């Protein structure tokens, strides 16, 4: 189902979808209200959601859909300017799975790339089993977890964290549990279209106590700051302790790559490195997290009970790369314990 108020863009999206053999268009509507009326009848596998709509906006529509008839939602964002992107990021927090650029026209630069990204995201997200989102904190661990104290000698000096599908709200929850004076620098990889990374960093900066910004090549990471991998660039920790932003080829189709981030931390810091791998489709990060654990670093994966998509954490667990698997609400407190702070 396409939800888009502009007739021109709605027809363009319909054309993009119709030429992809993986997808079938069941409805194209001009408002959120119409989408909610049509949803029980057409029962789509995935929804393309505009954010700026007349009447009810895409954010409220996402909330309603996830509460009443949970369906995978891909946000199609018409702009990367602050207001629109902020709404798009909040839609991810409300249950949407990903955000992609809206096509402007068939003659514009990058049209084919954007069209392919839209179709691929719609197809991939149609496979994600989503759950009702009446209570954002309703997910429960499979069993109680007791957090053991950590010896001072084991305390890490840097945190690397990565996520993909379902990542923005998960990252907001984990980092939101850390104080502004958290004693470690944080290096972050989130799989998202390059055009959205600066806005994502700004959105996260407004939600969590830590200072968040896009990483710059050659920076020396400082405690209490989060360094987000730039769009379509790898983020690495060089052996001399500075950040390296790299345009090297993608690894397993991913740039930024979570595996390359964790691998660089393993090589630079060994047992003083700390890695966290959250929700995400595929296996990115699993090999790198395993290498970090083999180097003596502490590694945490998100537990299946809270992960939107358990692909990336599950792969790390299978490979032996997870020191500890925790439901999302317990990861922040564990990080505080690891640095000797009360949780």
List pLDDT tens digits, range 47-61: 999 998 999 999 999
pLDDT mean over 321-325? 97
- CATH code for the domain in which residue 241 is found: 3.40.50.180
**CATH number (domain holding residue 59):** 3.40.50.2300
What confidence tier does 270 reach under pLDDT thresholds 50, 70, 90? very high
Q: Are 82 and 34 in a shared domain?
A: yes
Kindly tell me if the per-residue pLDDT of 137 is higher than 50: no
- Separation CA 69–CA 210 (nearest Å): 35
How many Cβ atoms from other residues are within 10 Å of residue 116's Cβ? 12
Examine residue 139 and state whether it is found in any structural domain, yes or no. no
- DSSP-derived pairing of the beta strands 186-190 and 158-163: parallel
Last residue of some domain: 92, 126, 160?
A: 126
Same domain, 281 and 328: yes
Contact 93, 60 (CB under 8 A): no
Tell me how far apart the alpha carbons of residues 263 and 187 are, in angstroms, rounded to a whole number: 13
Q: Cβ distance 189 to 235 under 8 Å? A: yes
279 and 205 housed in the same domain: yes
Total structural domains within the chain: 2
Residue 342: phi and psi, rounded to 5, are -65, 135
Question: Which of 76, 111, 126 is the C-terminal boundary of a domain?
Answer: 126
Catalytic residue among 48, 234, 264, 284: 284
Residue 13 has pLDDT above 90, yes or no: yes
Domain match, 84 and 17 both: yes
Q: Say if CB 89 and CB 199 are below 8 A apart.
A: yes
Instruction: Name the DSSP class of 194.
Output: G
- The answer to whether 176 touches 209, Cβ cutoff 8 Å, is yes
At 77-93, the pLDDT tens digits run 876 666 778 888 999 99
Let me know whether 160 and 292 are in one domain. Answer: yes
CA angle 101–308–252, rounded 5-degree value: 60
Whether the bond between 262 and the residue before it is cis, its omega within 30 degrees of 0, is: no
Q: What is the average pLDDT across 20-43?
A: 97
**Which position has the token pair 């500075």?**
242
Given the residues 48, 88, 98, 164, select the one marked as catalytic.
164
Same domain, 172 and 103: no
Tokens of 215: 């990483």
What gap in Å lies between CA 77 and CA 80, rounded to an integer?
7
Q: For residue 248, name the pLDDT band (cuts at 50, 70, 90).
A: very high
Give residue 151's pLDDT: 53
Residues 6 or more apart whose Cβ sits within 8 Å of residue 145: 326, 327, 330
> How confident is the model over 159-178, as pLDDT tens digits?
999 999 999 999 999 999 99
CA distance 163 to 328: 12
The arithmetic mean of pLDDT across residues 297-314, rounded, is 96
Return the structure tokens found at 66. 């996830």
Q: Is 284 a catalytic residue?
A: yes
Residue 280 lies in a domain: yes
Q: How far apart are CA 61 and CA 282, in angstroms?
A: 28
Is residue 271 domain-shared with residue 183, that is, in the same domain? Answer: yes
- Mean pLDDT computed over 305-320: 96
Q: Are residues 192 and 85 in the same domain?
A: no
pLDDT averaged over the chain?
91
pTM of the model: 0.90
pLDDT for res 133 = 53
Contact call for residues 160 and 265 (beta carbons, < 8 A): yes
Residue 227 three-state SS? strand
Q: Which of 179, 185, 187 is nearest to 333 (CA)?
A: 179
| Residue 164 annotated as catalytic | yes
Active-site hit among 191, 303, 322, 325:
191
Share of the chain above pLDDT 70, in %: 90
pLDDT digits (tens, 9 = 90+) for 182-201: 999 999 999 998 889 999 99
**In this structure, are residues 283 and 252 in contact, taking their beta carbons and an 8 Å threshold?**
yes
Residues 6+ apart with CB under 8 A from 104: 111
- Clarify whether residues 246 and 100 are in a common domain: no
d(CA 4, CA 30): 5
Neighbours of 206 (CB within 10 A): 11
251 - beta bridge partners? 254
Q: Which domain holds residue 89?
A: 2-126
168 CB-side CA count, 13 A: 28
Between 103-117, 208-222, 329-343, the lowest mean confidence (pLDDT) is in 103-117
110 and 210 co-located in one domain: no
Residues 166 and 315 occupy one common structural domain: yes
Residues 165 and 303 in one domain: yes
């Amino acid at each position: 189902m396409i939800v888009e108020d502009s007739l021109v863009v709605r027809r363009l999206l319909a054309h993009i979808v119709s030429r992809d053999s993986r997808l079938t268009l069941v409805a194209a509507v001009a408002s959120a209200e119409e989408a909610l009326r049509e949803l029980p009848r057409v029962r789509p596998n995935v929804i393309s959601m505009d954010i700026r709509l007349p009447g009810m906006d895409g954010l409220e529509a996402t909330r309603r859909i996830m509460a009443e008839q949970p369906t995978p939602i891909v946000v199609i964002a018409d702009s990367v300017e602050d207001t629109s992107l902020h709404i798009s990021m909040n839609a991810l927090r409300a249950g949407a799975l990903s955000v992609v650029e809206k096509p402007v026209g068939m003659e514009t630069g990058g049209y084919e790339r954007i069209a392919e990204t839209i179709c691929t995201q719609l197809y991939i997200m149609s496979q994600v089993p989503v759950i009702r989102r009446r209570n954002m904190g309703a997910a429960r661990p499979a069993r109680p977890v007791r957090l053991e104290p950590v010896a001072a000698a084991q305390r890490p000096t840097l945190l690397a964290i990565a996520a993909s599908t379902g990542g923005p709200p998960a990252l907001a929850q984990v980092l939101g549990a850390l104080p502004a004076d958290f004693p470690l620098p944080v290096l972050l990889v989130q799989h998202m279209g390059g055009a959205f990374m600066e806005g994502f960093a700004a959105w996260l900066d407004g939600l969590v106590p830590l200072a968040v910004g896009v990483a710059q090549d050659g920076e020396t990471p400082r405690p209490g700051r989060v360094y987000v991998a730039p769009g379509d660039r790898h983020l690495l920790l060089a052996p001399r302790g500075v950040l390296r932003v790299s345009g090297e080829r993608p690894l397993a189709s991913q740039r930024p790559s979570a595996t390359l981030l964790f691998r660089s931390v393993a090589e630079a810091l060994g047992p003083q490195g700390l890695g966290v791998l959250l929700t995400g489709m595929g296996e990115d990060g699993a090999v790198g997290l395993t290498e970090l654990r083999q180097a003596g670093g502490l590694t945490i994966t998100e537990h299946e009970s809270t992960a939107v998509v358990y692909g990336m954490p599950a792969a790390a667990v299978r490979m032996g790369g997870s020191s500890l698997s925790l439901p999302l609400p317990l990861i922040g407190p564990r990080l505080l314990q690891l640095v000797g702070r009360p949780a």
